[in-house]
């Protein structure tokens, strides 16, 4: 009786082990896939162009501030001329006060513009990466299904300490991304 029960238990264990599908692992370097994704590269080129334009606009506004500061300094130097009478010095100092007030308002506007620009560019950069990361993940899923993989691990990061290169599907993912992806707008 004990032998029958032991045999049944062993058969049950063997059956349950056979019923579980062995995992098929692959690895992918997501950063490499992102870096090699042509649509992301195109988007980054366009983004860098908008960054350059934004910097040029900020530089032009900054130049206006520098010009205003120089004008204030010239007025200050003019007010220190000993040949001027008191009425003229008072007139220049009053003009300086107005120019300083105007300068401070322009400086505050410039700082707000700079902060808005930096925030907007940061959001755009994050949106570009997020959009293309989703596309990379979709390509990883497709390649995994094509290869019969049940688990894909990112080789970058602290999760994978070692991975045999035969498990790496990064090049397949890049091929899937760059051949089947819709053209960039």
What span, in angstroms and rounded, lies between the C-alpha atoms of 144 and 89?
80
Residue 109 lies in a domain: yes
What span, in angstroms and rounded, lies between the C-alpha atoms of 47 and 59?
18
Has residue 163 got a pLDDT over 70? no
Dump pLDDT digits (tens) for 9-21.
554 544 454 445 5
Two structure tokens written together for 104: 């401070």
Residue 120 lies in a domain: yes
Per-residue model confidence (pLDDT) at position 18: 47
Has residue 123 got a pLDDT over 70? yes
Two structure tokens written together for 125: 């950069």
What's this model's pTM, rounded to 2 decimal places? 0.68
Two structure tokens written together for 6: 């032991």
Contact 156, 30 (CB under 8 A): yes
Dump pLDDT digits (tens) for 56-114.
999 999 999 999 999 999 999 998 888 889 898 899 999 999 999 999 999 999 999 99
Residue 14 lies in a domain: no
Residue 57 lies in a domain: yes
Residue 12 lies in a domain: no
Residue 16 lies in a domain: no
Two structure tokens written together for 67: 């010009």
Two structure tokens written together for 118: 């930096």
Per-residue model confidence (pLDDT) at position 179: 86
Contact 99, 85 (CB under 8 A): no
The domain containing residue 73 runs over which residues? 21-180
Nearest to 51 by CA among 108, 115, 120, 112: 120
Residue 8 lies in a domain: no
- When divided into structural domains, the chain yields a total of 1
Q: Tell the burial category of 48 from Cβ atoms under 10 Å away from its Cβ (0-12, 13-18, 19+).
A: exposed
Per-residue model confidence (pLDDT) at position 135: 92
pLDDT: which is higher, 152 or 21? 152
């Amino acid at each position: 009786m004990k032998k029958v029960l032991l045999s049944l238990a062993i058969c049950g264990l063997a059956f349950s082990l056979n019923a579980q599908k062995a995992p098929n692992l692959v690895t992918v370097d997501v950063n490499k896939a992102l870096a090699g994704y042509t649509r992301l590269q195109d988007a980054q080129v366009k983004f860098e162009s908008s960054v350059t334009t934004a910097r040029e606009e900020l530089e032009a506004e900054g130049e206006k501030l520098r010009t205003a500061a120089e004008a204030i300094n010239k007025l200050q130097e003019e007010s220190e001329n000993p040949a001027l009478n008191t009425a003229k010095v008072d007139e220049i100092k009053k003009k300086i006060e107005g120019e300083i007030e105007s300068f401070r308002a322009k400086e505050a506007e410039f700082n707000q513009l700079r902060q808005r620009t930096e925030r907007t560019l940061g959001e755009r950069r994050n949106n570009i990466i997020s959009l293309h990361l989703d596309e990379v993940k979709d390509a990883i899923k497709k390649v995994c299904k094509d290869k019969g993989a049940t688990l894909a691990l990112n080789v970058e990061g602290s999760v994978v300490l070692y991975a045999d290169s035969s498990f790496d599907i990064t090049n397949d993912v890049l091929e899937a991304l760059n051949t089947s992806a819709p053209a960039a707008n």
